[in-house]
Amino acid sequence: MRAMVLERQAPCEENPLILRELSVPEPADDEVLVRVEACGVCHTDLHIVEGELPPHRLPLVPGHQIVGRVVACGPKVTGISSGERVGTPWLFSVCGECSFCRRGRENLCSKARFTGYDVDGGYAEYFLAHKDSVYPLPEGYESPEIAPLLCGGVIGYRAYRATETQKGDILALFGFGSSAHLVLQMGLYEGKEIFVFTRSPHHRELARKLGASFVGGAEDDPPSPFHAAIVFAPSGFLIRRALERLAPGGKVVAAGIYATPVPEIPYELLYQERVIQSVANSTRQDVRELLEMAGRYRFRVVYEVYSLEEANEVLKKLKKGQVQASAVLVP
Ligand SMILES: [Zn+2]
Ligand SMILES: [Zn+2]
């Protein structure tokens, strides 16, 4: 099978992903062999390829927003049949026994393994999923269209729920891309008003088109304070910036796996019960709830399709902010 393999972390300008011919893997007892139909490209892939995140294994096939068809199942796999269309997100497997796992917070399990980081992912024609990391997908979406829901959508959903916003509240989104364009739609669907702060003109245009009531840059003042904010851009500066316009009792949620340092925060910005929280990974419940939402609400997923061999080019575009919302590789 063809796969784009990372052998050495390097800036994406050096084309670190190399096209290799690998043998199709055999599923272990608790694994599912999936023929990939589409794999979303995520900023986390960029951090893994370029080395902002330490390597967990090399060589590695990245990719963790995978949609495909089940080809074969190990003997301990139940409830999944060959030919079924499934999706696999970032969270691959957890220990199931630690205090976090027992409280439904398996996203914090220290033994968690991640797709396309600890195990090979979806930048390939086939990949092996853990039996607990395959999810049936709602009908009505093309495979490349639903792929971005599996990370951008799921992490966005976890961050969105963490804001604890209610109908009529104003939710601000800092940074606009794959995840934010889906969260904007979740918010509008549930009766919230959305402010978007982003630099790029084509991101601003998309945010307006999708229904944001205020669109501007981080330096611009919105018409009113907001009840909550999600910071998608990997910028500690924006976390502090969001806090400056946050209503009392509100929450700033940082959605990234990586961010630059947060500048010093005067206590009066935090006072009045304002909260700063990060989200890490996601739980299985998050994935199920988001896919359930995608079944009753038809997300308008804005995506661009590329061939598997174009993975390096897509990462470069993502780095330069040239992907309008989501980018998807099709083998
Ligand atoms: Zn991701
Ligand atoms: Zn655990």
Q: Three-class SS of residue 171? A: strand
- Percentage of the chain beyond pLDDT 70 is 100
Residue pair 2/331 in contact by the 8 Å Cβ criterion: yes
Bridging pattern class, strands 193-197 and 126-130: unpaired
Q: For residue 91, is pLDDT > 90?
A: yes
Distance CA 107, CA 1 (A): 31
* 31: its two tokens: 């694994």
Q: What is the pLDDT of residue 144?
A: 97
Q: What is the pLDDT of residue 143?
A: 98
Q: What is the pLDDT of residue 258?
A: 85
Distance CA 254, CA 236 (A): 9
Q: Which ligand ends up closest to the CA of 255?
A: 1
Measured CA distances, 54 to 165, 215, 301 (Å):
34, 35, 31
Q: Which ligand ends up closest to the CA of 94?
A: 2
Q: What is the pLDDT of residue 93?
A: 94
- Percentage of the chain beyond pLDDT 90 is 96
Output the CA 269–ligand 1 centroid distance in Å. Answer: 31
Q: Which ligand ends up closest to the CA of 62?
A: 1
Under 8 Å CB-to-CB from 195, ≥6 apart: which residues? 170, 171, 172, 173, 212, 213, 214, 215, 216, 222, 226
Task: Give mean pLDDT, residues 156-169.
Answer: 98
Output the CA 206–ligand 2 centroid distance in Å. Answer: 39
How many residues are there in the chain? 331
* 322: its two tokens: 């040239």
Q: Which ligand ends up closest to the CA of 93?
A: 2
- Domains parsed from the chain with CATH numbers: 2-149+281-330 (3.90.180.10), 153-278 (3.40.50.720)
Task: Give mean pLDDT, residues 12-38.
Answer: 97
Question: How much is the mean pLDDT over the chain?
Answer: 96
* Distance between start and end Cα atoms, the chain: 10
Under 8 Å CB-to-CB from 171, ≥6 apart: which residues? 160, 163, 165, 183, 187, 192, 193, 194, 195, 226, 227, 228, 229, 230
Task: Give mean pLDDT, residues 86-110.
Answer: 96
H helix and E strand count, the chain: 10, 17
pLDDT-derived band of residue 165, with 50, 70 and 90 as boundaries?
A: very high
Q: Which ligand ends up closest to the CA of 45?
A: 1
Q: What one-character DSSP code corresponds to residue 232?
A: -
Bridging pattern class, strands 193-197 and 214-216: parallel
Report the greatest alpha carbon distance in the chain: 59
Strand partners, 66: 39, 88
Q: What is the pLDDT of residue 321?
A: 87
Give the count of beta carbons closer than 10 Å to the beta carbon of residue 248. Answer: 10
Closest CA to 295 of 165, 136, 133: 136
Residue pair 212/187 in contact by the 8 Å Cβ criterion: no
Output the CA 33–ligand 1 centroid distance in Å. Answer: 21
Q: What is the pLDDT of residue 256?
A: 87
Q: Three-class SS of residue 57? A: coil
Output the CA 109–ligand 2 centroid distance in Å. Answer: 4
Task: Give mean pLDDT, residues 160-173.
Answer: 98
pLDDT in tens, 286-307: 999 999 999 999 999 999 999 9
* 37: its two tokens: 């139909």
Residue pair 162/253 in contact by the 8 Å Cβ criterion: yes
* 213: its two tokens: 């009531």
Output the CA 116–ligand 2 centroid distance in Å. Answer: 19
Q: For residue 168, is pLDDT > 90?
A: yes
Please give the helix or strand (H or E) that residue 128 lies within, else none.
Answer: strand 126-130
Under 8 Å CB-to-CB from 202, ≥6 apart: which residues? 324
Q: What is the pLDDT of residue 141?
A: 97
Output the CA 329–ligand 1 centroid distance in Å. Answer: 14
Q: For residue 314, is pLDDT > 90?
A: yes
Concatenated DSSP letters for 7-52? SS---GGG--EEEEE-PPPPP-TTEEEEEEEEEEE-HHHHHHHHTS
pLDDT in tens, 205-260: 999 999 999 999 999 999 999 999 999 998 999 999 999 999 999 999 999 888 99
